[in-house]
Chains A and B, each alone.
Chain A
Amino acid sequence: MTSSSWSNRLIPTLIALGLLVAVSIRATGTGEVLLTFHAEPAPALSGYRIGLQEFVSPTQAVALLRFNDARFAVSGPEQVSLFSPDNTPIEYWLDPADATTEFGSMVSIRLAFHVPATIPTNPVPPYRLVWGPDTRATFTLRPGWIVDPGRPDHYRIVRWHDPAGDSDGQLASIEVIADSHAGLYSLWYLVPMSILFILLTIRKMHHGDDAVNPPA
């Protein structure tokens, strides 16, 4: 095989491997979290673009969510859906400039949506955020959307928790390998030392005193 044919095969293989690795780290998964709603003082709004805002209804509040769960990675906002307690999709709005991407995937998103002004902290059943390639979202792009820090009572800061992560943390499990030969592993260095010793002994036996007193 010539060197050119080697390179002809090697380069595409390396490219394919690179793409495989890239896809594996960019892989977008699916997930779901439950939302909680919090009335907070105005400083909680300091990360937002601010301005005067007209509110369409006194019975509604604006829920603000920066979603950046460690597992979250999607190709775009069309893969993020919100559901109300009665499982109805909720329309949300976002500014694409607020999103954070990593290796081409969207890993953080800031969005807003309307909720009743009287919404409790932990609605039961809960609001849900779902993401993944099979999700079909309802959203509006609103570049430069603002919040009004002069009216903090019209906002709810949204946090989330993983429904699968509410486990009891009272116990820690450690894997213990019971191995009758475990005590011998620490003596591994004896093997190369023995081989070296044997080789030196053989060399000594073959060469005799020549090794010590080489011929003039």
Chain B
Amino acid sequence: MKSFSVMLAVACIMMSIPSAGHAHLCNDVFAQADDNLAVKVDVRDGQLRIGETASFRVYLLNTMDRDIANINLEVRSTQFDSSAVPGTDWKGFPKLRTVKQGGKKEYFDITLKRKPGIPDGAYKIDLRLFNGGNPAQEFKTVDLGNACGTHKLKPAKGIAVDGEPAAAEWASSILCTDFYEVTAAGKYLANQRSTEQPRFRIAADATYLYCLLAFEGRSEATEDIATIYAAPTPDDEPRMVKIDRVAGKALTDEHAGKITVKKSADGRQLECRIPRALLGIDADNRFYLNLTRTTAKNNREYKDFWRGNPLSLNNPVVYDQFVVE
């Protein structure tokens, strides 16, 4: 009788472990989602024009310390019927594997169909990410609003790359700031806003990408490098250009002579002109960019990210979309 009681107790404990493990997994996943679940809505210009039907993709990239066991997406709209279908090469859906364990970028194909009798006009649709095993449990901390963001650039005019940036020259630029460091926060790695902020401005015309790179703090650094990552679409391999504030020039030999860099008199700003062809973003008026700042100081390296983290840095799915109008 005693041995039966012990066996029963062991059996109960073993049965309870999977459910406990599952609950724990969900909590950890949701705690990390803010900084480690990248979402990108691939709608050109941030706006979708639809006759009767239209489709677009929503990309997901998991850089957490574990897989997301069950993730799903729904479209909420009263004007359109919709479907969200996982990509044909998404193996193991609804599990979203982390890139730390061999996972990759996955996507949903979203199709919208206008309901009968809906007149022409502008409408809003809402996207919602949730736990497929418990639809009430939403990935609330994922900033889906940012995922749809598009920066519209008026063509740059009159930017003289002379190390004397003027407000009028950079009037059409987009300010890229709010960089962050990836640091340990409790059990996980989390994004923490960098104390000393880069202020990188981006402008473009049909031929060139213009950057005004302003570096804050770390004046005694031996290297202070802005890296510009660029890709024509979220599916392409990014190309990069490194420009060092301390040296006042682009670093890679292959770019010598093709990139113009001028340092300001105070040494804190660089004006740069980069041929878009060099970055492979000259074929279309739409492209994707990311930026980092890497500083070497006192035998320590600091890295500030504009978008993404060390695991997603080379994946344009986390980059921001720019459209030259």
Contacts and interface: CB of A to CB of B under 8 A. Distances in A.
B186 interface: no
A22 B47 contact: no
Q: Which range contains the number of A residues in contact with the other chain? A: 35 or more
Interface in A164-189: 168-183, 185
B216 A68 contact: yes
Nearest to B171: A21
Contact of B46 (A44, A104, A170, A175): A175
A107 interface: yes
A171 B128 contact: yes
B85 interface: no
A175 B48 contact: yes
B127 A18 contact: no
Contact of B51 (A22, A44, A168, A183): A183
A176 B50 contact: yes
Contacts of B71: none
Contacts of B233: none
A170 B144 contact: yes
B214 interface: yes
Interface stretch (B86-94, B99-107, B194-202, B252-260): B194-202
A21 B50 contact: no
A21 B49 CA distance: 33
Given A68-B196, A170-B139, 19 more contacts: A22-B171, A25-B167, A70-B177, A100-B199, A170-B144, A171-B127, A171-B144, A172-B145, A173-B125, A173-B126, A174-B48, A176-B47, A176-B49, A176-B77, A176-B123, A177-B48, A177-B122, A180-B51, A182-B49
Nearest to B165: A103
6 contacts: A22-B171, A104-B167, A173-B126, A174-B48, A174-B124, A185-B49
B171 A24 contact: yes
Contacts of B21: none
A47 interface: yes
Given A68-B177, A169-B145, A172-B148, A178 B123 contact: yes
Contacts of A142: none
A147 to B, nearest CB: 13
Q: What are the 6 closest A-B residue pairs judged by CB atoms, nearest first?
A: A172-B144, A103-B167, A182-B51, A22-B167, A183-B51, A170-B140
Interface in A60-96: 66, 68, 70
A154 interface: no
B138 interface: yes
B152 interface: no
B12 to A, nearest CB: 37
Interface of B: 39, 41, 43, 46-51, 54, 76-77, 79-80, 112, 114, 118-129, 138-145, 147-148, 165-168, 170-171, 175, 177-178, 193, 195-197, 199, 214, 216-218, 268
A159 interface: yes
Contacts of A134: none
Contact of B217 (A47, A168, A174, A180): A47
A47 B138 CA distance: 39
B175 A174 contact: no
A108 B197 contact: yes
B167 A174 contact: no
Contacts of A171: 76, 126-128, 144
Contacts of A47: 195-196, 217-218
Nearest to A22: B167
Given A171-B128, A178-B114, A100 B175 contact: no
Contacts of B126: 171-173
